[in-house]
């Protein structure tokens, strides 16, 4: 029983820690959007091009956050069964 509790606790804490990865993309995406807005204010005629480039950059910045999210999902839904099966 104790081992099961420890395994589940470890998985839950790990999932929580994995989602810390959301901080980086949050900051990065906000920075990218802000910079794009600055550029748009300077040159409004470039709006279309800037928007698509910004979205592409934001999507790339998001990847690390998504990795964290997938790790969290794995820790919640896959890892407990796997580790409890090992016991």
Please give the residue ranges that form the binding site for another protein (CB under 8 A): 52, 55-56, 59, 62-63, 66-67, 69-70, 73, 77
Q: Which is nearer to another protein, 6 or 59 (CB)?
A: 59
Smallest gap from Cβ 3 to another protein, in A, equals 25
What distances in angstroms separate CA 78 from CA 52, 66, 85, one per listed residue? 36, 17, 11
CB-based burial, 39-62: b 16+ in 10 Å, e otherwise: bbeeeeeeeeebeeebeebbeebb
Distance of CA 1 to the CA centre of its chain: 33
Smallest gap from Cβ 48 to another protein, in A, equals 10
Smallest gap from Cβ 21 to another protein, in A, equals 11
Q: Which is nearer to another protein, 7 or 71 (CB)?
A: 71
């Amino acid at each position: 029983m104790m081992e099961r509790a420890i395994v589940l606790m470890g998985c839950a804490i790990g999932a929580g820690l994995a989602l810390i990865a959301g901080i980086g993309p949050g900051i990065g995406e906000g920075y990218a959007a802000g910079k794009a807005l600055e550029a748009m204010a300077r040159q409004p005629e470039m709006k279309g091009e800037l928007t698509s480039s910004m979205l592409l950059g934001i999507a790339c910045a998001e990847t690390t956050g998504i990795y964290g999210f997938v790790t969290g999902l794995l820790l919640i839904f896959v890892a407990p069964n796997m580790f409890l099966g090992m016991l």
